Amino acid sequence: MTNTALSQKKSTWFVDNGLIDGWDDPRLPTVRILLRHGLTVEGLKQFIIAQGGFKSFVSMEWDKMRAVNNNVIDTIANSFTALESDDLVQVNILDALDDQSLDVRNHSKSPKLDAKKVLISKKIFDKRNDANTLEYRKKATFIFWGNFMVKNIKKTDRKITEIDARLNLDDKDYNNTVMFT
């Protein structure tokens, strides 16, 4: 692994000299620590197999291990969205009904996971960075919902404060649209 001291001799030196708190220190690249940080056993197996049985030196990045692990997790874990409350923009869905809902998959990459019911509210929130990519009278997509058309963008001091939109759930053309989580 690049930029990582993997040898037991070097790790022992760090422990013996008090530079780390012991063998359970999260800065050590041990299997126990990696598992505590969310690496799955299956992800570790797939990563090791991907390296192959070479006697020569192979330099690998931590990002490769994370990517392999994410592929494993994506097939078994439900997907959720969370937003930071200090940088949100309100999106007003002009044609949403009070009791309207959609049945959507919990994860886009794993159709075998259970579906969930999502209520379509008249007011939803999204990240300001995403809102800044919207254009008046352009189509955008709420992931797991469908497409919508931007009808109005309200700004205060050149910052977007609110967006008015109309749903177009029958439109299944997601090419060239801004994607919202």
pLDDT at 26: 78
Q: 3-class DSSP state for residue 35?
A: helix
pLDDT at 42: 94
Instruction: Give me the amino acid identity at 59.
Output: S
Q: What's the CA gap between 73 and 97, in Å, rounded?
A: 35
Neighbour tally for 137: CB within 10 Å: 9
- The structure tokens 């994506």 sit at 74
pLDDT tens, 18-66?
A: 888 877 787 777 778 888 888 899 998 998 888 777 666 667 788 888 9
Nearest to 77 by CA among 53, 112, 123, 49: 112
* Radius of gyration, alpha carbons of the chain: 23
Q: Going by C-beta distance under 8 Å and a sequence separation of 6 or more, which residues neighbour residue 119?
A: 100, 101
Q: What's the CA gap between 63 and 75, in Å, rounded?
A: 19
**DSSP code for 85:** T
Residues of the chain with pLDDT under 70: 1-6, 54-58, 107-111, 181
Q: 3-class DSSP state for residue 118?
A: strand
pLDDT at 50: 83
Strand-pair partners of 167:
148
Q: For residue 181, give Cα distances in angstroms to 56, 60, 172, 178.
A: 44, 32, 16, 10
Q: What's the CA gap between 112 and 158, in Å, rounded?
A: 44
